[in-house]
Chain A
């Protein structure tokens, strides 16, 4: 009897695998611990268990995955809220199906103490990513009435560390860790944390085209469920998760080190819980959405504000 049950189970698995829904998921950046929850969900078979055949595609950093979503190259993407809202306002009809970040990881790191907060950056040369991600930082400084020269660059920390700029945009889970890993002393008073200001614009969320969401409600829900399971597992099993991340890096022939990825994972998990919560909710909070909405409407008063109900699926 037991033998028959095993054979039946194998047939069932084969069937599920054969008819699993193919999903092309594109995080917004190259492989790293920032996307650990997705890697865990895939590696531990959470997607497969729910009938999804998820392919995690890391596209070139020089091209925005929002553009590739629009062209239909990806089904689901990961992107930060500000870039998603900007794209939305520019006509890309996307919806938020999951929110993994509950805090702003965006920083401005200066080469001297920010004794007067952001005002210290008046007239400074500030580096920012050419890809346009986190362009919202520029908007914030503009709103604050600070005149800075923006220097676009590709990636990394060399530009700032070389002394060619006075300050740089950075992420708390990546560049800050990298800079400190070089032996350079970056004091806390050199860092402006958006999460500690009124501009706490939360980061990563998962987005799909509205049409896709409407046509594949069940797929969206299964993807959402498996991804949450992946993130929750990562939170409980940090060392194992780091190993999974390192495997992904190796598969993609990318160089990094375990130290950096572990620190990144810990910071990403810290950002996954809202300041007043004790556990991750994986939902975009209305007040967090309103901050970015308000910010964009202040920048361009001609545009109508976006409705939360329209933006979140």
Chain B
């Protein structure tokens, strides 16, 4: 995947904008919720109060009509026989109450003076409200006993506000009538007295209720018919439910049911995909309900404007912050590019790469100082490295020469004595470093084989020097001394005499009499050799450890003797063999050495024995670094010289 490079300044700027934007969003959300709720509460309060004023106004009109009719009803009942008074009563109602548009006194068919129909109807002139006309109505073409305003209250036996209707036989306007029942002295229903209110009067009150520019109000009858609406063709023509049949928001239906059930309420609903608030208030006296509908965009206009301004400022501000932060960081971080280039140049070995000029006293200056310091340190270090490398190369070269010299001191030709059939011998020395402290040596003088294996304390050059000294001394001492203990004693005294460095060397010295197989030996603190017999025995040679050479001058080493039978071998080694470590820090150990040697099939072949042991050690350490010099020497006593 290709990872797109994004500059430090861009990333940091984006992070800052993201955090700032998030903080703004949280703040805005809190502000928005709080303010919206506050505004909504205020709007609700305002709309409810306005609606209450409207319903109170309408209710007051209705109450005044009820009052006029109820007062007049009593008067009519008291003067039922005085027909002439009826017109005065009706005129008085209209004169004293401007809310009454028309009024009626009507009797049950046949009740009044034998008339099938008796109805007096007083009507206010639309043009001149003070002008009143009173007519006699009733007949087949105006069969009032079957009309709602007469029939329903008679059946209900109580005062009743009719559903609004257009009385085309009388006032010919849209109106609602309040009916009170007239009774005779026995309480029998004899007719009605009725007051009409013109709906136009309410329309003006309702329509005027317009809390917001695009708000509109409407009024429903108890049967859900529109009594007032901005679309006049809905009036008494559509019910709320038929008009809203195509509206999908289920809230709308709830609004309708709540209104006809004379509940007070406020809802939000979707009107043609526009959110709107509706508030409604009932007029229980007549079963009507008034509502105002306000578009959310109107109600929240100032709030939305403020939100838009805030958004504009915030988005603009965020953009400005982004640009400012981006440029600032880019300017501050500009030296980093130079540092980056310089680092690349330095990586290629040019420590004099130019660094940016930093004038500010800040972290960038610290970085420059650190960078400059690093350049100097690197220069010095590389210079030192060059010197050191050169010295090391010289030392390594010298050590290689020393190694050659040291190895040259050891006999390396095998078989070493091709003309001496009594013995066969093989040796191996693997120094852990360029030069080592182990040594082995052997030579035949007369009928005797002199041989030794040793291990100087420490490693490296000091040990190798001690080894070289010891090796030279061994040759010079054995030129005139043949007893191993004496050889050791002489060597010890010689080494101890000039041993300011307090070094020492372990050494096993043996002299084999080729005529008898008698082996004289003395051990100067070295590992005991292993005797391998033709009988299959493999065991450590019993030795007195004595002391390592160079520790105490004048120490008397113990001489010991054993006899090798024909075919037997003596195997000598340094502690680099038994203390060879694997990665688990386990030592090769004496017991593994014995086991390995015991498994050798042909002990008469010295090279095979040493190869076997070497392989086994290599297998055991399993690649672990060799930590000490490894030396092995094996002598196989093949036959007695006298046998030749």
**Contact surface of A with B, Cβ cutoff 8 Å:** 60, 62, 125, 130, 151-154, 156-159, 161-165, 181-184, 255-257, 259-260
B290 on the interface (CB 8 Å rule)?
A: no
B interface bracket (residues with beta carbon within 8 Å of A) = 20 to 34
Binds A, one of B238-246, B402-410, B417-425, B441-449: B238-246
Task: Pick the contact of A164: B156, B234, B236, B242 (CB < 8 A).
Answer: B156
Task: Pick the contact of A260: B143, B240, B242, B257 (CB < 8 A).
Answer: B242
Most chain B beta carbons < 10 A, residue from A157, A161, A162: A162
| B151 adjacent to A153 (CB under 8 Å) | yes
Give chain B interface residues in 240-288, CB to chain A under 8 Å: 240-243, 245, 256-257, 260
Give chain B interface residues in 154-186, CB to chain A under 8 Å: 155-156, 160, 162-163
Q: In the complex where A162-B156, A162-B160 touch, is A130 in contact with B245 (Cβ < 8 A)?
A: no
Told that A257-B234, A257-B243 touch, could you supply 14 new A-B pairs with CB distance under 8 A?
A: A60-B141, A151-B151, A153-B146, A156-B148, A158-B148, A158-B163, A162-B156, A164-B151, A165-B155, A182-B260, A183-B256, A183-B260, A184-B223, A255-B235
Tell me the minimal C-beta distance from B82 to chain A in angstroms.
31
Give Cα A60–Cα B141 distance, bound, in whole angstroms: 9
Tell me the minimal C-beta distance from B616 to chain A in angstroms.
106
B348 on the interface (CB 8 Å rule)?
A: no
| B238 adjacent to A125 (CB under 8 Å) | no
| A151 adjacent to B155 (CB under 8 Å) | yes
| Nearest 4 interchain pairs by C-beta | A164-B155, A255-B237, A259-B242, A182-B223
B134 on the interface (CB 8 Å rule)?
A: no
Chain A contacts of B241 at CB under 8 A? 181-183
| A163 adjacent to B156 (CB under 8 Å) | yes
| A125 adjacent to B163 (CB under 8 Å) | no
B374 on the interface (CB 8 Å rule)?
A: no
Give Cα A259–Cα B225 distance, bound, in whole angstroms: 14
B147 on the interface (CB 8 Å rule)?
A: yes
| A62 adjacent to B143 (CB under 8 Å) | yes
Chain B contacts of A62 at CB under 8 A? 140-141, 143
Q: Total A-B pairs in contact (CB under 8 Å)? A: 76
Chain A contacts of B473 at CB under 8 A? none
Tell me the minimal C-beta distance from B154 to chain A in angstroms.
8
| A158 adjacent to B162 (CB under 8 Å) | yes
Give chain B interface residues in 212-244, CB to chain A under 8 Å: 222-225, 233-243
B152 on the interface (CB 8 Å rule)?
A: yes
Task: Pick the contact of A257: B141, B160, B242, B260 (CB < 8 A).
Answer: B242
Give chain B interface residues in 64-121, CB to chain A under 8 Å: none
| A181 adjacent to B148 (CB under 8 Å) | no
A-B CB contact pairs (8 Å), 20 listed: A62-B143, A130-B146, A154-B146, A157-B223, A158-B148, A158-B152, A161-B222, A162-B160, A181-B224, A183-B224, A183-B241, A183-B256, A255-B233, A255-B235, A255-B236, A255-B237, A256-B237, A257-B234, A259-B243, A260-B242
Chain B contacts of A257 at CB under 8 A? 234, 237-238, 242-243
Q: In the complex where A158-B162, A158-B163 touch, is A182 in contact with B239 (Cβ < 8 A)?
A: yes
Task: Pick the contact of A154: B147, B162, B163, B240 (CB < 8 A).
Answer: B147
Tell me the minimal C-beta distance from A11 to chain B in angstroms.
43
Give Cα A158–Cα B146 distance, bound, in whole angstroms: 12
Give Cα A62–Cα B542 distance, bound, in whole angstroms: 152
Give Cα A284–Cα B186 distance, bound, in whole angstroms: 55
Q: Which residue of B lies closest to A153 (CB)?
A: B146
Q: In the complex where A182-B223, A259-B245 touch, is A159 in contact with B151 (Cβ < 8 A)?
A: yes
Q: Which residue of B lies closest to A164 (CB)?
A: B155
Give Cα A60–Cα B242 distance, bound, in whole angstroms: 27
Tell me the minimal C-beta distance from A182 to chain B in angstroms.
4
Tell me the minimal C-beta distance from B42 to chain A in angstroms.
31
Tell me the minimal C-beta distance from A129 to chain B in angstroms.
9
Chain A contacts of B151 at CB under 8 A? 151, 153, 159, 164
Tell me the minimal C-beta distance from B621 to chain A in angstroms.
100
Chain B contacts of A165 at CB under 8 A? 155
| A259 adjacent to B260 (CB under 8 Å) | no
Q: Which residue of B lies closest to A152 (CB)?
A: B146
Give Cα A152–Cα B151 distance, bound, in whole angstroms: 9
Q: Which residue of B lies closest to A154 (CB)?
A: B146
Q: In the complex where A159-B148, A182-B225, A183-B260 touch, is A154 in contact with B237 (Cβ < 8 A)?
A: no
Give Cα A163–Cα B223 distance, bound, in whole angstroms: 12
Tell me the minimal C-beta distance from B452 to chain A in angstroms.
126
Give Cα A301–Cα B163 distance, bound, in whole angstroms: 44
Chain B contacts of A182 at CB under 8 A? 223-225, 239, 241, 260
| A161 adjacent to B143 (CB under 8 Å) | no
Tell me the minimal C-beta distance from B365 to chain A in angstroms.
82
Tell me the minimal C-beta distance from A238 to chain B in angstroms.
16
Give Cα A62–Cα B146 distance, bound, in whole angstroms: 11
Tell me the minimal C-beta distance from A79 to chain B in angstroms.
20
Q: Which residue of A lies closest to B148 (CB)?
A: A158
Chain B contacts of A151 at CB under 8 A? 151, 155
Q: Which residue of A lies closest to B223 (CB)?
A: A182
Tell me the minimal C-beta distance from A114 to chain B in angstroms.
21
Chain A contacts of B147 at CB under 8 A? 154
| A158 adjacent to B223 (CB under 8 Å) | yes
Tell me the minimal C-beta distance from B191 to chain A in angstroms.
17
Tell me the minimal C-beta distance from B387 to chain A in angstroms.
106
Chain B contacts of A183 at CB under 8 A? 223-224, 239-241, 256-257, 260
Give Cα A157–Cα B148 distance, bound, in whole angstroms: 10
Chain B contacts of A181 at CB under 8 A? 224, 239, 241-242
Chain A proximity mask over B520-563: 1 for CB below 8 Å, otherwise 0: 00000000000000000000000000000000000000000000
